[in-house]
């Protein structure tokens, strides 16, 4: 028998906006309730003093806010609680999204004095999208600005009527001395809470209408069902610093937090199995300790002592030390040397992990965030696209090799951080969620890896595309004694909008009467269609021609940016029995693409982001006046509570890469904002000319 049945486990992420008190709550929980070995973690824990248990990273201590998610655990009332403290700043949203993929319930922490802020909305939406249970925790109820009734109305207005108090404050501000259960007789919220709970079961609703109130196990089962369906979002009150309401909050976590076996999750078979299933078949995950192993990596951390740590959520089967398993990112599979149960930055060796548990394994380089262990493959974890880049180089010439390894470690830890070398400019480009995100990365490189960077202005991930049809050819011919080089390629080029079905488009005989075959690259939305007739180009040269197309797309044509949303039809060409080779046709393909692209009304695309800007009411006019100067388009404005307003707008990313400085100046440091990628749009002509003029492209035919 496993030590913890799934029904006795609660996996909960503490998430919300920065400054809501998530880390203080996590530290307080760990200092209050016993861990499984007995006793509590007796350690001073203060974010402000740099003694937090969960914010143990040196950058976190320096900045006094969470940068990485942190896993802790403890026991209370016969249940194992795995709590993940997550960052509140939108710059580090990737860590929060990873954590949400490892839990069953999101506790959305709201600062009672500030109300609902930018990241509060975003994490609530992310949790809902993942089908998680959601609990709203009104923290800092001891603050003088706390007003329960106003805050509850705001929560309902923003998140919906399913947000119902599970307890109410006994006093507010300095008089906050306790909480009262909303299920207690005389509570003004009792009827609303019970009605919300019983609506998920017709029989229970009928009994309730007849005067029979559910209690005990029946009530607990109905609460779990209401949480699962999203019909109930409990609201609780607490003060993380004074511990008032802490026990009651944990009781709600136990009663309302979804057990690991409640959420229906599916995976795809990675191989044919004994039960007759075929590879690729969708299977429902059974939370059975005796079943097949299914676990997923939701977080990676480079630890100075145990090196690479991969954090796993176990969904099915039993993980054991010494066990060999298939892994979705490894051809050979992996062998687990040692399992660990994590307590922030401390680890305790354990022998096995059963469904619902969160554990870590060390030194398995084959594992990445999102890797599935076992003979099934779970859906990959979807992270936001990083959009703000810097050209980077080491300050010391001898640090190139060291820098490469250091950046690789950061990209393993953080899926919203990427590293690539621009083929055209030969620059190393690091890309993250914001200017602040990249500054923290540089601090970590300097401290942990002893590498300092020289960086240049943020680079925006523009894209190139076309707006009209064009055709043309290119003949590559060289002769310098002996065998020469010859390859001739004729192509037609068409705009290929996102969302177009490549097979339907390519097999349209009206469009391509000589259709033979097609190849599609989803990443760049690139389709190329083979319409060669009569063997004028032998098919063994097609891969080289395609390689030439893709090399040119990677290098760009008009400004050195990735090409996307293009269809190329290869319809004619010539070859020479002796002089034609793969190199010749690769060059011909690349140059034909370049020349025809330039005829097809080329254009630059720029990333457009959705911004949610929360500012004091007095600064709303300043923000709205500034947005048109940034080519922004306001979409609406909402009350964020506490005298704050949230402005929603669409803005080109290039105009807001350093917006944190502007907003801080505009609001005296009281404003905050978040950005989320929406789409790519055509760059206006005057702006496009400036970008193209600043790009230095060389004629690179070899």
Query: Mind listing the pLDDT tens digit for each residue in 176-208?
Result: 999 999 999 999 999 999 999 999 999 999 999
DSSP SS3 for 385:
coil
For residue 700, what pLDDT is reported?
A: 43
Angle at 545 (CA atoms; ends 515, 563), nearest 5 degrees: 90
Query: How far is residue 476's CA from residue 702's CA, in Å, rounded to a whole number?
Result: 10
pLDDT at 156: 95
In this structure, what token pair is assigned to residue 402? Answer: 């060291």
Q: What is the DSSP string of 670-693?
A: --EEEEEEEEEEEPPHHHHHHHHH
- CATH of region 266-377: 2.40.30.10
pLDDT less than 70: residues of the chain? 1-2, 34-44, 271-278, 306, 422-426, 458, 481-482, 642, 696-702
Fold type of domain 604-689 = Alpha-Beta Plaits (3.30.70)
Tokens read off for 288: 């059975």
Q: What is the pLDDT of residue 317?
A: 95
CATH number of 388-461: 3.30.70.870
**Can you give the pLDDT at residue 659?**
87
For 6-184+232-256, give the CATH class.
alpha beta
Residue range(s) in the chain whose domain bears CATH number 3.40.50.300: 6-184+232-256
Pairing of strands 105-111, 428-432: unpaired
d(C-alpha 458, C-alpha 197), whole Å = 50
Q: What gap in Å lies between CA 241 and CA 237, rounded to an integer?
A: 13
pLDDT of residue 43: 60
Length of the chain counted residue by residue:
702
Q: What is the pTM of this model?
A: 0.79
The b-or-e profile of 568-602 (16+ CB within 10 A means b, else e) is bbbbbbebeeebbbeebbbbbbbbbbbbbbeebeb
pLDDT value, residue 699: 38
- Could you give the CA distance from residue 379 to residue 413 in angstroms, rounded to a whole number? 19
Residues with Cβ within 8 Å of residue 193, at least 6 apart in sequence: 164, 165, 166, 182, 183
Query: Interior CA angle at 685 toward 683 and 689, to 5°?
Result: 95
Q: Where do the CATH 3.30.70.240 domains begin and end in the chain?
A: 604-689
Per-residue confidence (pLDDT) for residue 701, from 0 to 100: 38
Q: Which CATH code fits 468-600?
A: 3.30.230.10
Question: What is the sign of the dihedral through the CA atoms of 243, 249, 254 and 260?
Answer: negative
């Amino acid at each position: 028998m496993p030590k913890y049945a799934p029904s006795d486990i609660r996996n909960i992420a503490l998430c919300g906006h920065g400054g809501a008190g998530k880390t203080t709550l996590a530290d307080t929980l760990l200092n209050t309730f016993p861990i499984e070995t007995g006793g509590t973690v007796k350690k001073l824990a203060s974010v402000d003093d740099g003694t937090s248990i969960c914010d143990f990273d040196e950058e976190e201590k320096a900045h006094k806010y969470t940068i990485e998610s942190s896993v802790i655990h403890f026991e209370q009332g016969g249940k194992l609680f795995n709590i993940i403290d997550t960052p509140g700043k939108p710059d580090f949203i990737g860590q929060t999204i990873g954590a949400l993929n490892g839990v069953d319930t999101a506790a959305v922490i709201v600062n009672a004095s500030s109300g609902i802020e930018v990241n509060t909305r975003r994490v609530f939406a992310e949790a809902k999208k993942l089908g998680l249970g959601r609990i709203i925790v009104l923290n800092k109820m001891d603050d003088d600005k706390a007003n329960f009734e106003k805050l509850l109305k705001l929560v309902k207005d923003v998140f919906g009527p399913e947000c119902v108090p599970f307890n109410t404050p006994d006093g507010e501000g300095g008089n906050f001395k306790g909480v009262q259960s909303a299920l207690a007789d005389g509570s003004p919220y009792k009827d609303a809470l019970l009605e919300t709970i019983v609506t998920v079961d017709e029989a229970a609703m009928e009994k309730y209408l007849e005067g029979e109130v559910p209690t005990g196990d029946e009530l607990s089962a109905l609460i779990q069902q209401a949480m699962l369906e999203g019909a109930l979002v409990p609201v609780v009150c607490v003060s993380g610093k004074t511990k008032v309401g802490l026990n009651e909050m944990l009781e709600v976590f136990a009663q309302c937090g979804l057990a690991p076996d409640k959420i229906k999750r599916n995976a795809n078979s990675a191989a044919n199995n004994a039960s007759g299933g075929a590879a690729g078949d969708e299977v429902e995950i059974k939370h059975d300790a005796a079943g097949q192993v299914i676990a997923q990596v939701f977080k990676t951390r480079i630890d100075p002592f145990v090196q690479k740590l991969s954090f796993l959520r176990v969904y099915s089967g039993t993980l054991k030390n010494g066990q060999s398993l298939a892994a979705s990112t490894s051809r050979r599979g992996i062998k687990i040397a040692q399992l660990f149960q994590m307590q922030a930055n401390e680890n305790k060796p354990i022998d096995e992990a059963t469904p619902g548990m969160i554990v870590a394994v060390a030194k398995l380089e084959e594992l990445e965030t999102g890797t599935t262990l076992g003979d099934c493959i779970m859906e990959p974890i979807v992270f936001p696209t990083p959009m703000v880049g810097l050209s980077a180089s080491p300050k010391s010439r001898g640090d190139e090799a060291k820098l490469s390894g250091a950046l690789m470690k950061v990209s393993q830890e953080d899926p919203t951080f990427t590293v690539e070398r621009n083929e055209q400019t030969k620059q190393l480009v690091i890309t993250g969620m914001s200017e602040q995100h990249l500054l923290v990365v540089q601090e970590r490189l300097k401290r942990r890896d002893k590498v300092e960077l020289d960086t240049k202005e943020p680079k925006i991930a523009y894209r190139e595309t076309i707006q009209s049809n064009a055709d043309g050819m290119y003949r590559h011919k060289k002769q310098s004694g002996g065998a020469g080089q010859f390859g001739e390629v004729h192509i037609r080029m068409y705009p290929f909008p996102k969302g177009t079905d490549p097979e339907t488009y390519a097999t349209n005989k009206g469009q391509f009467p000589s259709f033979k075959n097609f190849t599609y690259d989803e990443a760049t939305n690139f389709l190329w269609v083979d319409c060669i007739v009569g063997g004028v180009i032998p098919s063994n040269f097609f891969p080289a021609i395609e390689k030439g197309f893709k090399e040119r797309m990677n290098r760009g044509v008009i400004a050195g940016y990735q090409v996307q949303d293009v269809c190329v039809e290869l319809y004619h060409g010539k070859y020479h029995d002796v002089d034609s080779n793969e190199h010749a046709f690769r060059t011909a393909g690349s140059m034909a693409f370049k020349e025809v692209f330039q005829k097809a009304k080329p254009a630059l695309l720029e990333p457009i982001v959705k911004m949610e800007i929360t500012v004091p009411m007095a600064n709303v006019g300043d923000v709205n006046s500034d947005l048109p100067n940034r080519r922004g388009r306001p979409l609406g404005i909402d009350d964020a509570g506490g005298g704050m307003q949230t402005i929603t707008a669409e803005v080109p990313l290039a105009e807001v890469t350093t917006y944190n400085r502007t907003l801080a100046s505009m609001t005296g440091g009281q404003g905050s904002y978040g950005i989320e990628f929406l789409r790519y749009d055509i760059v206006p002509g005057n702006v496009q000319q400036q970008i193209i003029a600043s790009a230095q492209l060389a004629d690179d035919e070899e």
